[in-house]
Every structure is written in structure tokens, then in C-alpha cells.
Amino acid sequence: MRIRALLASAAICSLLVSALPAMAQASDPLAATGRWSIPERSQARTPPMGWNSWNAFRTEVDEAKVLGAARAMVDSGLSALGYTYVNIDDGWWLRRRQSDGRMEIRTGIFPSAHVEGRDSSFRPFTDTLHGMGLKAGIYTDIGRNACSQAYDLHSPNLPEGTTAEREVGLHGHVDQDIGLYFGEWGFDYVKVDACGINVYGPANPIVAQYAYTPETPLIDQVSINRTDVPAVQALYGEVADALARHNPDGDYILAICNWGSADVRTWGKNVGHMWRTSGDITPTWTRMLHNFDSASTRALYAKPGAWNDPDILFVGHGDFDQNHLTEARSHFALWAMINAPLLISYDLRQAPQSLMDIWGNADIVRLNQDPGGHQAVIAYASDDVQILVKTLSNGKKAVALFNRGLAETEVTLTAAQLKLAGGAPIALKNLWDKTTATFTGETKFTLTPRETLVFEASGERTLSDGVYLSEIPGAVNVAVDGVIAPEPDPVVHRMRNAWGETTGSGERPTYTGWGGAQADATPYDQALRIGGQGFESGLGVLTNSRLEVRNEGYTRFEAQVGVDDSTRNTKDAVRFAVYGDGRLLSESAPMIFGTAPAALSADVSGVRIVEIVARSEGLTSDLPLVVTWGDAALKR
């Protein structure tokens, strides 16, 4: 923990991995390590699936509702499809006992937690879930107080008692609480919220009104410069360490919930199994777009054991209820395509079949749970229509055609967008209505307003003897992305928010990520292009970056490299290097803006981890130097 904090304060937080290798790299973050720097995790190898109480019940959760959902998941076959985690969210706690700091459960709503003459315990509850073949999740906060204590002030289920008794978050109790939740109570999953380090500042009137301990916020949701990124990261790192200590079998999930703040995009994958990429979803179409956009542009940051989390599903409510099945199907399919965790939040004791059919679409669940773990990459984007393509481990593609707007729209899908050969037939299977079709070159569809068509596509691969790195984001880890000053990512739908009406001037983009590595685009969302030559495939990144690539049996790495035509820094030079298990295999000459792409290749036979490094030479400008690994591929 001390080492983590030190490293973080040395402003090399993007490197945070396990302590020792990170120390070895501290002198040169671009030095090849020959290893995959995300901890090997046994859980969440595919996006976690299950149920969460929040969107359905907010703090009015109780045992009958949770176990009713669990029973319905088993009886309906949803659990057999992979919906396994049953997670209670905010509202379960009564108080923190002051004699020994032990958390007490609100047994009025969780009756099985009342054990005569003994401390309250969730063990009977988790035993019940485990007995049903399910897993159990709990909720806490990284600070002293939770979100409901600021935002659900009329809730009947807020913690009770003195200031200290109502401090139910992890602050000062990380090891004790994690030991209790996992060791004694038997939970398998914890969501760790962040209101305690965000909303209880001395200036917030509720602090005096409700006698909370004032805490200077570590997170300022609208200003990365006023957010203490290393401190936030260190706190979550402490939880990760406690979880590892109390779960020697590795059977746990850490869901980081700090709403895309504190540059979590960069470090979330090193610390937890999933991290929220945005503020809370609401049951409105345009907020769904916002949350979707916060994760859909970050394909290279998700992989087995580490997922972008655009929030719990809102299928069944509001714009996604049983009267809006087009919207509900779109929401679900989009989450599936981008490898989002699939957490249902609906009263499953009384769910209409039309909604059960959405969560229960086995074909769509299967594409989310594909073992390759490759998040869909955006193949075509406009504000009206998007096409997303996801590589499946059987060599096929999943493709979603997404009509974001309210007009009927014609969409052309091309073989090139699928990275399939244009001259050979491509078979499509519609994963909603199960119809099939074949096309060559391109094909057209008419999408109704807000409709998302999802297909499985198979054909001849464009790259017949290998795979483009942009097709396999789950096998690429952005170890160092070269971003110097984190900037809000503007490519996020700006909805009219549900909280502020249209008062004020509107919500600005605040989730940093702009400048991060991209598949098939530059870090600033331009088309890849070197010296006037465009690339449909490739990785776009800033200089002074290092990407790790898992190699499963390929023998050659090949790319066309150079400074991207979109760079703002048109003066400085960059050298591209390829390493195999830590050894330098191949290196380019220094390259500058305007020169033609250079071919770079390396023999990677027997290599497990390929590292590709773009290092600037004697920087003279502090403008970002954008580089492109054009057509970067692993070949047989």
C-alpha cells in the first residue's frame, strides 16, 4: 500500500501494477517487462452477470425481493445462462457498532440476518444463495458515508445513530469490513461506491444538517485538476489488497464505482475487475446513450478480468419498459456488444415474458460472454447511426447496427467494416429473430427509430493468415498510454439530465480518456493516416506509450508505422520498437511528421508477450505527438 501511494504520487499511476515490477519500471516506464501487467484474475474472465437491487428498488431493498429475484433467475433458466451474482446495493446497513467497529445489518428488512443472541450475520442469506448455485454481492463506500446518506434522505433505510455509528463506509475499517463481508459472511462480490470522498465536503449543507464528519472531497466530478487521482487510486488499491488477503482462492470481484472520475479509465483495470465509466444511468434513452458512449470508445481498456462498466441495466423501466421493447432490446444488445457487465435490475418475481426474452436471449448473452473478451470496436460512427463489430473467439464477428435517433434510417453494412473479404459471401444470422441472409460486398437494412440489429457474421477474413490487433482488444493491454494531462473525452452524448432540467448551462463532458489508445482511430478520434496514406485497421496512440499484446501461436508481428497526419506536434521524432518477452526484436529509424509509413516486422515465434513501444526522441514540443501502428497484425 505504501509503495502504491509512493508510485502514484510520482505521477506514474498508469503503471500501477503489482509493486515490484512497477518499481523496476519507475526509472523508465517504457522499458519492456516481458509480462502482462494486469493481475491474473480467476474471476470475471467474462463480464460479470447477475442481478442488482438498485435500479429496481433503490434503498427499499429487502430479503424477500432479493431472494424472489434469485428464485426467478434459477426457475426461469436465467442463472443457467450465466446470471450468477445477486447483489444487494445501498440500504442494507443499520449502524457501525462503536464498541468494536462491527457493521450491523438492518435485520428488519433482512430477517435471516437476525440470529438470536448473536451478532447479525448475512451468512444464512449467502448460504441460501450459494445453495441455489448463485453468488452473493454486497455494497459499500470507499469513504465514511454512502450515497444514500446524501441523495436518498427520505429513505426509511438510512443508517441510524450517532455520527460515528452512521459511518458505514470503509474509511478506517477496510480490513475489518472486507474480512467480515468475505470471510465471515461469505460474499463473493463487492461494489465500492465513492460518495464518501465526493459529497461530504464542509461546504455541503447536509453535512451540518445531518451531523456528518466533513471530509474535503478527493473527487471533484467536474475537474480532474481538483481531483486527487493518486489518493483515490491508493484507497481502491487498499481494498484490492484486503480482498486478496481475505480471499486466498481469488474468488471475489471488486466493482469500482467512482463514475468515471479520477482517471479510473487508466488504472481501473490494474486494481479491480470492473469500473464505472460514467455517472448513474437513468431509465431514459438519452442518458443510456451517454453511459454507452462513456464505455464504447474504450475497447482497448477492457479485457478478461477487467471490464468497462457503463452501469446496471435499466431494461424494464421508463424508456426501456415492456411498452418500449425496441429501446429495451437496443440497451441490452449494446451492453452485450461492449462487454459490459449484465446486471438485471427489475422485480423478477413479476417480470413479463417480453422482458424475460430480452435478458434470456442466449445468442446475445453468448456474444457478451465470448471467452476472447474482445469489446466491440466502433466500425462506423455518426451521431445518428453506429456500427460496432466484435471479434468472437470462433473467428466469427458479431455486428450491431444501431439507430441512435428518432428517424427511420437506412444503414449500409460493408464487408470491410467487418474486416471480412469483399469478394466472398458473408453469412448473417439475426440474433433477435434468428433469420439468416447472405451478402457479398455490402448490404442494406432499414432500421426503425432506436432500433439495434445484431448479427453474427461469418465469411472469409480480410487477413487470411492472421489477425489485426484492433480486432483483438482483449489481448492488448495499454500499459502506458502516453497521456500527460488527462482531458475529458468529448465523444459522449450530452443528454438533458434528469437532475437539473435545463437550468444552468448543461452538463459538460468530464470523464477523462481523451488521448487514450484507440482501435481503428487516433487517440483524438480521427481516421488513421500516415504521410497521406490511410489505414482502415490499426492502433492509434500517443508517443511514449507501451502496449502489451498476448501472442497465441503467431509467428510474425507486422505494422506500417509513422507519425499520424492528425498530430498537433509536427516537429518531434518517434522511434517504434517491438519486443518479445522483454527482448528487443525490431526497431524503426526515428520518424517525423509527413514521412511515408515504414514497414516494421518481427519474428515472434514462441513469444508470449509482444510489447510495442513508441518512444519520442528528445521532445522539444509539449504538443501531443500522435502515432499510428497502421495495419498492426499478428500473422502465422
- Residues lying near ligand GLA in the complex (CB under 6 A): 54, 89-90, 147-148, 193, 257, 259, 280
Task: Provide the 10 A C-beta neighbour count for residue 486.
Answer: 23
Q: Which is nearer to ligand GLA, 511 or 593 (CB)?
A: 511
Q: Which is nearer to ligand GLA, 54 or 267 (CB)?
A: 54
User: Strands (DSSP E) along 304-451, which ranges?
Assistant: 307-309, 342-344, 377-381, 385-391, 397-403, 409-414, 426-430, 436-439, 442-447
- In the beta sheet, which residues pair with residue 141? 193
Give me the least distance between CB of 508 and ligand GLA, in Å please: 19
Give me the least distance between CB of 193 and ligand GLA, in Å please: 5
Give me the least distance between CB of 100 and ligand GLA, in Å please: 26
Q: Which is nearer to ligand GLA, 147 or 300 (CB)?
A: 147
Q: Which is nearer to ligand GLA, 7 or 257 (CB)?
A: 257
Pairing state between β 466-468 and 626-635: antiparallel
Q: Which three cell numbers stand for residue 147?
A: 450515497
Q: Which is nearer to ligand GLA, 291 or 386 (CB)?
A: 291
Q: Which is nearer to ligand GLA, 312 or 609 (CB)?
A: 312
Q: Which is nearer to ligand GLA, 195 or 377 (CB)?
A: 195
- In the beta sheet, which residues pair with residue 514? 487
> Taking a C-beta distance cutoff of 8 angstroms, is the pair 470, 536 a contact?
no
Q: Which is nearer to ligand GLA, 104 or 193 (CB)?
A: 193
Whole-angstrom Cα distance, residue 164 to residue 374? 45
Whole-angstrom Cα distance, residue 255 to residue 5? 20
- Sign (positive or negative) of CA dihedral 310, 281, 352, 132: positive
Q: Which is nearer to ligand GLA, 51 or 54 (CB)?
A: 54
For residue 598, which of 634, 574, 621 has the smallest C-alpha distance?
Answer: 574
Q: Which three cell numbers stand for residue 162?
A: 450517532
First CA to last CA distance, the chain: 42
| Helix, strand, coil percentages in the chain from 3-state DSSP, rounded to 5 | 25, 25, 50
Give me the least distance between CB of 90 and ligand GLA, in Å please: 4
Give me the least distance between CB of 448 and ligand GLA, in Å please: 31
Whole-angstrom Cα distance, residue 169 to residue 218? 15
Which residue sits closest to ligand GLA, CB atoms considered?
147
Give me the least distance between CB of 148 and ligand GLA, in Å please: 4
For residue 303, which of 335, 339, 275, 334 has the smallest C-alpha distance?
Answer: 339
Stated as kind and residue range, the H or E segment containing 428 is: strand 426-430
Give me the least distance between CB of 152 and ligand GLA, in Å please: 6
Task: Provide the 10 A C-beta neighbour count for residue 113.
Answer: 22
Give me the least distance between CB of 208 and ligand GLA, in Å please: 21
Give me the least distance between CB of 393 and ligand GLA, in Å please: 31
- Sign (positive or negative) of CA dihedral 424, 365, 273, 89: positive
